[in-house]
């Protein structure tokens, strides 16, 4: 590998760790998928009819709900067992006055078909800026990725006692640390009591950083090269195999994977998971790019401490950009031919295991 291959990750990690993570802007749980064929649930009932649904938590404690439900005349939305909003096939409602909760869940219940259970994607913690649910997205065949099962995050070294208590209540039982050894040593994870901690070092065995980008173009290239290494490097294949094996074994409980900023190594882990589950690529890309919103305040704080010329070089390292994620998919095609072959030959997920994963993590 080139000596500077991991420069982007190292610099971004160092910069991120050097400052306390600023609170992330509130973002929505949103799911918008391409039109899908109608499917039936395993019990024979109509599939979940919602083609779009969002839950957005406001700073004032309110929740904005939006939805589209194909072929449904009436929709009722429940929270804590009570109807809090009603509407037709398409609607928007603002709900206020709900009691404080670790996560406020909403059941979108159509006149016909299966309900859809959603919460705001962001998990508000004192010690993170990019801790969010990996689920809540619609697949191309009309199913939905369950929420409350898989979480993704930035570093956990700043978690407070309140944060750890919340994660216990959210039933986080396995934590996968995708970071390098020096990151783990400097900023050791704090994990909920009783949770299993698993090292899944994406860049294990890679050479030490010798040079850093000297221009914005070099920074972009280093990010693209690092993304490719996540796909075809030995460390990446072993790390993501370990994550998928853990996700499959933690049925009924929540698993969490994270790196330092929760955007690159974590971003590819989540993109791989969502793609494997059948989420459209434009939705996967939107989820990936959402780190720019969640980390906006933290990134701006980091860049504000740097001279303008240096900030221009480092900004591509703090961003997520379409060309970064696309380089991962390009590497999959170049190395394996198809994504299914990547899952099978790179990560050891055969057709039977993929079917089981979908059965466990999809609703509808």
How confident is the model over 99-114, as pLDDT tens digits? 999 999 999 999 999 9
First to last CA, the chain: 44
C-alpha separations of 309 from 8, 12, 253, 312, 356 in Å: 17, 16, 46, 5, 50
Phi/psi region, residue 80 (left: phi>0; alpha: psi -120 to 50; beta: rest), is left
Give the predicted TM-score (pTM) of the model: 0.89
Identify the weakest region by mean pLDDT among 69-73, 82-86, 321-325.
69-73
Domain boundary among 88, 120, 152: 120
Give the SS3 label for residue 302.
helix
Q: Is there a single domain that holds both residue 150 and residue 214?
A: yes
Query: What is the side-by-side strand order in the sheet with 90-95?
Result: 28-32, 50-57, 63-69, 90-95
Which among 105, 120, 135 is the end of a domain?
A: 120
Q: Is 113 among the domain residues?
A: yes
The SS3 of residue 51 is: strand
Residues in Cβ contact with 141 at an 8 Å cutoff, skipping those fewer than 6 apart: 36, 37, 39, 278
Choose one of 58, 87, 120: the last residue of a domain: 120
Residues 73, 171, single domain; the answer is no
- Per the domain annotation, does 279 fall within a domain? yes
Whether 218 is covered by a domain: the verdict is yes
Whether 172 and 208 map to the same domain: the answer is yes
CA angle 137, 125, 63 (to 5 degrees): 55
Residue 79 lies in a domain: yes
**What average pLDDT does the segment 196-210 reach?**
85
Asked whether residue 1 is assigned to any structural domain, the reply reads: no
Express as a percent the part of the chain with pLDDT over 90: 82
Give the CATH number of the domain where residue 47 resides: 2.60.40
R_g of the chain computed on alpha carbons: 20
**Domain with 319 in it:** 7-27+126-363
Domain total in the chain: 2
Q: Are residues 319 and 220 in the same domain?
A: yes
Chain Cα centroid distance, residue 202:
16
230 shares its domain with 291: yes
- Name which of 149, 154, 253 is nearest 195 in CA terms: 253
Let me know if residue 261 belongs to a domain: yes
Q: How far is CA 141 from CA 40, 276, 278, 343, in A?
A: 10, 13, 8, 20
Please state which of the ranges 191-205, 246-260, 340-354 shows the lowest mean pLDDT: 246-260
Verify that 255 and 345 share a domain, yes or no.
yes
pLDDT of res. 253: 80
Is 141 found in the same domain as 50?
no
Does 153 lie in the same domain as 110? no
Q: Between the CA atoms of 174, 254, 278 and 280, what dihedral angle is there, to the nearest 10 degrees?
A: -100
Give the separation between CA 170 and CA 334, rounded to whole angstroms: 39
Same domain, yes or no, for 50 and 130? no
Of 12-16, 129-133, 213-217, the one with minimum mean pLDDT is 12-16
Q: Are residues 78 and 185 both part of a single domain?
A: no
78 and 200: one domain? no
User: Per residue in 312-342, pLDDT tens?
Assistant: 999 999 999 999 999 999 999 999 999 999 9
* pLDDT of 124: 94
pLDDT confidence of residue 207: 67
Across residues 283-308, what is the average pLDDT?
A: 96
CATH number at residue 327: 3.90.190.10
So what's the pLDDT on residue 11? 52
Q: Where residue 91 falls among pLDDT bands split at 50, 70, 90?
A: very high
Cα atoms in the Cβ-side hemisphere of radius 13 Å centred on 266: 31
174 and 76 belong to one structural domain? no
Residue 2 lies in a domain: no
137 within some domain:
yes
């Amino acid at each position: 590998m080139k000596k500077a291959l991991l420069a982007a990750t190292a610099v971004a990690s160092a910069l991120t760790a050097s400052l306390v993570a600023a609170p992330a802007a509130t973002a929505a749980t949103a799911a918008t998928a391409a039109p899908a064929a109608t499917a039936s649930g395993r019990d024979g009932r109509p599939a979940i009819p919602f083609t779009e649904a969002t839950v957005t938590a406001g700073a004032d404690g309110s929740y904005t709900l939006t939805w589209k439900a194909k072929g449904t005349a009436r929709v009722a939305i429940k929270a804590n067992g009570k109807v809090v909003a009603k509407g037709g096939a398409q609607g928007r409602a603002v709900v206020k006055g709900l009691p404080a909760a670790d996560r406020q869940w909403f059941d979108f219940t159509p006149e016909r078909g299966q309900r859809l259970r959603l919460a705001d994607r962001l998990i508000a913690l004192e010690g993170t800026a990019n801790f969010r649910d990996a689920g809540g997205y619609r697949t191309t065949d009309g199913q939905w990725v369950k929420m409350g099962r898989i979480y993704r995050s930035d570093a956990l070294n700043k978690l407070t006692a309140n944060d750890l208590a919340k994660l216990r209540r959210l039933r986080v039982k396995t934590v996968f640390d995708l970071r390098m050894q020096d990151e783990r040593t400097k900023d050791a994870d704090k994990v909920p009591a009783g949770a299993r901690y698993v090292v899944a070092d994406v860049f294990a065995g890679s050479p030490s950083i010798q040079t850093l980008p000297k221009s914005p173009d070099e920074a972009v290239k280093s990010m693209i090269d690092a993304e490719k290494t996540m796909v075809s490097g030995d460390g990446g294949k072993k790390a993501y195999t370990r994550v998928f094996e853990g996700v499959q074994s933690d049925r009924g409980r929540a698993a969490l994977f994270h790196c330092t900023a929760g955007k690159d190594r974590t971003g590819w882990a989540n993109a791989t998971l969502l793609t494997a589950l059948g989420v459209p690529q434009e939705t996967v890309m939107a989820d990936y790019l959402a780190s720019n919103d969640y980390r906006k305040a933290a990134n701006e704080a980091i860049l504000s401490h740097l001279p303008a010329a240096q900030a221009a070089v480092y900004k591509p390292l703090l961003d997520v950009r379409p060309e970064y994620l696309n380089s991962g998919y390009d590497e999959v095609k170049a190395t394996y031919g198809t994504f299914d072959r990547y899952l099978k030959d790179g990560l050891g997920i055969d057709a039977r295991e993929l079917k089981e994963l979908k059965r466990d993590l999809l609703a509808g």
